[in-house]
Structure 1
Amino acid sequence: MANSKKSLKNSKKATNSVAHPLLLQLSHFLSSHLKPNTQLLLALSGGLDSTLLLHLLALAKQTIPFELHAMHVHHGLSANADKWAEFCMQQCQTLNVPIQIAHVNVDKNSKLGIEAVARQLRYQALFNTQSNGTVPDFIVTAHHQDDQAETLLLQLFRGAGVKGLSSMAAIDEPRRLMRPLLDVSRKTLQEYAELHNIQWCDDESNDNTQYERNFV
């Protein structure tokens, strides 16, 4: 369900955020790592993090030459799943960003657990997608500073070794992964979204501490 406290404004207001430090930081990151006409595929859930990154990338695209596409993976696990997919399509239509909706079937009885299976299927859908017969140069995710800390704690709880405790990388070329928000806190993202009246969806499963990451 879309957060009722936020209302989407048109792109005219969005352009007023050009000088915002968060956009400047993202633009510098992209300019440093992208070749001209690099194709990016954003993993768009409809939540705060990825929706905000969608808006930031759409703004950055006005001055940096890269192609931007989005994909929303429909897991079908929530009664709100169809609404989230519709929300993502509306956001992309407003920002003139092509989007694909990928439906996956999550085995709720898998020994891996729902979280792990859903994540596995999500990445399979993202990495297997093509646009005009070509694969994207990078899959872009909205992992941020808080996610980095949570991942480290999870690995510690699982008794991971030195390799398992290594941090996520902002650029992972072998896996074609890009995480441009790793140095940004979730608080900063939320403050930006509220400042610019950006709408997002709230996933009720985030409050379920039966899921390992939520518990952490």
Structure 2
Amino acid sequence: MSISFDAAIQSFKPQLPLAVALSGGADSTALLIACATRWPGQVHAFHVHHGLQAAADGFEAHCRALCERLVVPLLVRHVDARNANGQSPEDAARQARYGALEDMLAEATGIRSIALAQHADDQIETILLALSRGAGVAGIAAMPMQWQRAGIDWHRPLLKTGGAEIRKWLKEQGADWVEDPTNADERYTRNRIRRNLLPALQATFPQFRETFARSAEHAAQAAELLQELAEQDLQTVGNPPSINALQALSRARQANVLRHWLRLAHATTPSAAQLGALLDQIAACTTRGHRIHLKIGRGFIERKDGLLDWYN
């Protein structure tokens, strides 16, 4: 169920010292104020300057003024978040942002946890984006509330709190924040979802935040089970996979273990059409002379001595 901002902060129990990713927007501003008030002297702020718009300097200025007022140490990283050909601007910015946060975690020694300010509406937008792209259970699982990477605990403590609730809390504190001008730009799919779909969902299904979140939790459990099965099956089929061993599995398990193998061993992900074509070729591979040569992800898969060989 959706919870209030105060309840979200009270239930947040990170290991200290804690870093807060601070963009300067309402959500991260509220998160930093609440954390710095609750754990004075134990909170740091990390700001990533994406360099994508003139307003970015204003974001940094707001963050510096806020951290000075709260007596919170601030680290700032300037990154080039421009997207490459074939890459979405949102994905480029996200990758640059997480890379910068990891760099700052390495520099600010002693930090044991980091908190990100994504909230319930962000989670709904992520689920709807995943559904629009035909994602599987891993995509529908959306964003986790907590995970660990390189010995650091990462948290999203506001993931069950709505954006309006956060802004209401900020106004009650008399605090200001910076509005990102791109949030009104409907060239971005997330903004169209926020402006057009969320109000329609609210009018039609008033409890949609809770029910969508529950579906995401179910999908996350299913994704975890599929991951465990893929790890077991990869031990059976081998790395690189044996075609005969793959043929002993159901088509669904073949797809699951092949996605896992390609992601783990070759850092690539096949499209649904590519994976379907590969599964068809595996099923048809009943003679020694059967040839496989398919475009898969960023490279190609070929049959080699009864095994699947990937190269780029």
Instruction: Mark yes or no: TM-score above 0.5.
Output: yes
Match of 1:193 in 2: 170
TM-score by length of 1: 0.80
Alignment of 1:96-115 (within 5 A): 96-115=71-90
Shift in Å, 1:131: 6.5
Match of 2:287 in 1: none
Shift in Å, 1:97: 0.6
Q: Deviations over 1:127-150 (max 9, x none)?
A: 122466626322211011111111
Match of 2:9 in 1: 26
Match of 1:76 in 2: 51
| Cα distance in 2 for residues equivalent to 1:135 and 1:151 | 32
Q: 1:171 aligns with which of 146, 162, 182?
A: 146
SS in 2 for 1:70: strand
Is the CA contact 1:53–1:142 (under 8 Å) kept in the aligned structure 2? yes
Change (3 A) 1:25 1:122: closer
Shift in Å, 1:164: 1.4
Shift in Å, 1:172: 1.2
Match of 1:116 in 2: 91
Match of 1:211 in 2: 188
- Superposition RMSD in Å: 2.0
Q: 2:127 aligns with which of 152, 165, 170?
A: 152
Q: 1:183 aligns with which of 160, 164, 185?
A: 160
Of structures 1 and 2, the larger Rg is shown by 2
For structure 2, the 5+ residue unaligned runs are 194-312
Q: Deviations over 1:40-86 (max 9, x none)?
A: 22111100000011111111114xxx721111111111111111101
Is the CA contact 1:71–1:101 (under 8 Å) kept in the aligned structure 2? yes
Change (3 A) 1:130 1:29: closer
Q: Deviations over 1:139-195 (max 9, x none)?
A: 211011111111100100011011211142221124732001111111111111111
- Say which structure, 1 or 2, has more relative contact order (CA 8 Å, 6+ apart): 1
Match of 1:45 in 2: 23
| Cα distance in 2 for residues equivalent to 1:88 and 1:105 | 19
| Cα distance in 1 for residues equivalent to 2:110 and 2:88 | 29
Change (3 A) 1:142 1:130: closer
Q: Deviations over 1:60-115 (max 9, x none)?
A: 114xxx72111111111111111110110100010011001100012344321221
For structure 1, the 5+ residue unaligned runs are 1-20
| Cα distance in 1 for residues equivalent to 2:98 and 2:82 | 15
Query: How many residues end up aligned between the 2 structures?
Result: 188
| Cα distance in 2 for residues equivalent to 1:128 and 1:85 | 18
Change (3 A) 1:162 1:83: same
Is the CA contact 2:8–2:161 (under 8 Å) kept in the aligned structure 1? no
Alignment of 1:121-132 (within 5 A): 121-130=96-105
TM-score by length of 2: 0.56
| Cα distance in 1 for residues equivalent to 2:119 and 2:113 | 17
Is the CA contact 2:120–2:160 (under 8 Å) kept in the aligned structure 1? yes
Alignment of 1:134-149 (within 5 A): 134=109, 136-149=111-124
- Give identity over the alignment, percent: 36
Q: Which structure has the highest helix share of the two?
A: 2
Q: Deviations over 1:8-53 (max 9, x none)?
A: xxxxxxxxxxxxx6335413322xxx34xx2222111100000011
Is the CA contact 1:23–1:60 (under 8 Å) kept in the aligned structure 2? no
SS in 2 for 1:164: helix
